[in-house]
Structure formats: structure tokens, C-alpha cells
Chain A
């Protein structure tokens, strides 16, 4: 079975020859290829080379065109500080709470900031890998993009002090995301992963999620599916148990769950969703490979009767992780046990 077919089967809750496994590795792929993180996040070609090398080394079922969480906000004018061996960060935000959004054009992914580099990376990987493995793009979710555009504190206070203004920002972010995601599909992504850590219950209450986030996630996933995405894949890091039933309403086919979500809660859901998760990210850096293997095996057994499960970490595998720990996760997926 090809990796892509294995993933497709998992999404459709069909049997697979072995448990599908993905490693959510981004800057880690640069470090093991002997490149700096700076090189990786600035160049689509470098990203593609590093991801393909990591695929050859670990034998997972997907590659990712993910650089860092600042692509969209940089394309809209945020000033980004780059570091040699750390992810870049927002030095000054593009918008204030009083920015006139009607005067701001939606960025053109073919020429705005590093968006074209992401498209280039996707094109290279898709040409090289074809339909052998899942080629994953990535866009931020609306809540996270808003926090990246104005800053977390400003965004959250705005939501309470000026809900109309906040909703306008969310709608603007939604339009940016849809355009960027559609361009990724056109460039070769089988699907863009929708990454929205600021929408977790660590940041906002479930009622807030239902009112502000749910309708926009639904709109984005529908737009991606219309643009030809293989599936809708939603990744909200952190605690999401209170909104698990709502996530099914977004139209997403795959839901990532983090280490802090009890797998039993996921298993109790009566839905036709596929899930991926949830080995603790930091453990890839500080635990022993035997521990990772045992945890992966535990998850494999837990979900064995369900189908519709992709083994992975709960969130990004940190750049400095021990390669043998990633190998241990993959080995557990391949194991007969």
C-alpha cells in the first residue's frame, strides 16, 4: 500500500496494511540535514530538500510544507525577526485594533512575503513524490492569524471590548486563509492542514469557540474541499475536549488531538472522523526511545478496533528532538505487535 493510499484509507475508516504514521517535523528536518533553521524557513527549495531527506530517513507517510507560524502575518506587513537556529518571530505586528481593513488587500500568494516559497516547496515535493506520500500544506486558522496580526493580548481584549471589530478581523483572516490554502492546493498540496493553536481551550472558552471560531472554520474547510483538497485536516493544539463534538460540525475529516486530550474521550465520540495524535511533543526531546515506542504501541492498541487513526505526536516534534525517538514511533507503527 502506498503511503497516500494508507492515509486515504484511514480517513475513510477503511482497513490499512499497517498503522499510518506521520512525524510533524519542520525545523527538525533542517537540523538533521545539516542546515540552519534560517535557511529552512527562508527557502522553499531548501524546505523541500530537507523534508524529502527526512522522509527517506524516517519512512513516515507524509511531508509538510510548513516553515513557521509567521508566513501570513508577514505577507500582510508584520516585521519578522529571523534567527540562525530558532524559529523567527513577530517583531512588530502588521495591524492595530483600529486598522481600516477595507483598505488592506488580501495578499497574493504568488508574490507576498514568503508565501511563494511555500508554494515553490510544495511544487517541488509534489513533482518529486507524486502520489506516493501525502504532501501537506499548512495555513493558520482564523483565531491564530488574528493573534499574529495584532498580538495575543490586543486580540483577546478586542474580542470583549469591540466584538464587531474583532469579527471583522476574523473575517479578514478567513479570506486570507482561503486564498492561501487554495493556492497551496493548486501548487501541489494534497491538502492544507489548518493549524489554529490560539483557538484551544487554553486560550478561549468553548462558548467563544462556538460563536466566533466554528462558523469560520466551517467556511474554510468547505472552501478547501471545493478547491480540491483531499480532506479537511484540523489541528488545534492543547486542550480541546470540550469542543470535540463541535469539531465534527466543521466538515473536517481529520482531527489532531494533543497529549493533554484523553484518548478515551476521542474513542467515545460516535463519529466518522479520523484522528491523529497524541504522543507528548517534549518527550521526543527528553524521553528515551523505549518510552516513545511503548507509548506509540499503547495508542496503536487503543485505536486498533476503531480504524480511522494516524499515529503522530500531539503537536510539533521539537527541532532538537532525538532522531531515535522519531524512529521509535515509526517502528511502533510498523511493528507486528
Chain B
């Protein structure tokens, strides 16, 4: 398992898949590979990624390797195991940048969440509709441009109006992380994708109690 964790942290997708096959051939269960392999790699990456030392390149490489392993384990798609929660991710209307959203999607998927991707340039109405339709635990909005701030502020009201006011709302990305949760009327503003994952781990667990 250590070899898989190391391959993942090196962002080496081919070797990660190779190590996964070796583990499967040796009788390791899927859940063990997810928890002790991908999970441990994600935890170690999380520990390494402070605000000062968080760069897209490293995260993307580890994310790509983890996605390769997930595809190897679940070729038909899905995780085959109960998800830790359902999360909607998007960039809002007018924001056509999706790199931050894609990173978050990779990390949350690797951590065992069911992630519904509403894409970039997404209208608030469609976002809230998707959250209701999928019984989401949280909505994560990634924003690279400041012009989406007014839209972010409307998400909570619309969610309450649609009867899903309990859904946690998170914001992040270069533009949105300059604001406070109060400014944006959200539950949490994440500095990094791992920061968002940590909040979700506690928030979704609290909800389940």
C-alpha cells in the first residue's frame, strides 16, 4: 500500500494504476485501497498544502493519478460503496473558468463524495434545482472573477425558497476567497480545495448526527 501512496503523491498515474493492479492481484479489497491508498495519499497532500504551498500543478497531478485508480477500481463508474455525501460543484454564470472547480471535484471524488458537476457559467436557478434534485448536502461555488459575487449572495435565499435551506453553501477560488462568509452569505469560504473538504467532513457529519 505504501508504494501506491507514494506513486499517487508523485502524481504518477501509470505507476499508481500498476500498484493498484498488484494490490488487487494480491487480494486487497477495493475499500481498503480507497481508504488506505487514496485516502492516505489525500491526507498527506492535505497536510502539505498550506495556503503558501498550494499549487494547482501538484494537486492536478495527484488528482489525475487518483482518478486513474478510481477508474481502475470502478470501471463501470460510480464508487460501488455508499458516498460520504452528495456535493454540487459549479462556477456561476459569467465565470467560464473551471480549473478550480475541477480540482475540487477530483479531491472530493477521491475522498468518497458523490460529486454532481453543474459545470461553468451555471445559473443560480439551475444550481439550486440540481441540489434539490440530487438531495445534496452541500453546494460548492468556485469563483475566479469578482463579478459573480452578487450571484453568490442570492444562492441562500433561493435554496431556502425551494425548501433546501439546510444545504451547506461553500465558496472558494481566487476571487471569492478574498471575501468573508458573511460578505457572501455562505456557510464557509475555503482557502483551498482541502479546506473545503475539511469543512464538509465536519459539516456533513454533524448533520448526520
Contacts and interface: CB of A to CB of B under 8 A. Distances in A.
B52 A201 contact: yes
A320 B150 CA distance: 11
A241 B64 contact: no
B146 A282 contact: yes
A153 B174 contact: no
B64 A282 contact: no
A282 B52 contact: no
A282 B52 CA distance: 20
Contact of A239 (B52, B94, B179): B52
Contacts of A120: none
Contact of B147 (A237, A238, A286, A318): A318
B208 interface: no
Interface string B130-160: 0000000000000001110100000000000
B149 A205 contact: no
B58 interface: yes
A92 to B, nearest CB: 12
Contacts, number: 64
Interface in A253-283: 259-260, 280-283
Interface in A191-240: 201-205, 208, 237-239
Interface residues of A, number: 32
B45 interface: no
A171 interface: no
Interface in A80-131: 83, 86-87, 89
Contact of B149 (A156, A201, A238, A285): A285
B61 A282 contact: no
Contact of A204 (B56, B64, B146, B179): B56
Top 9 A-B pairs, shortest CB-CB distance: A282-B178, A318-B146, A89-B96, A203-B56, A152-B99, A156-B57, A204-B57, A205-B55, A86-B94
Interface of A: 83, 86-87, 89, 152-153, 156-157, 159-160, 201-205, 208, 237-239, 241-242, 259-260, 280-283, 285-286, 318-320
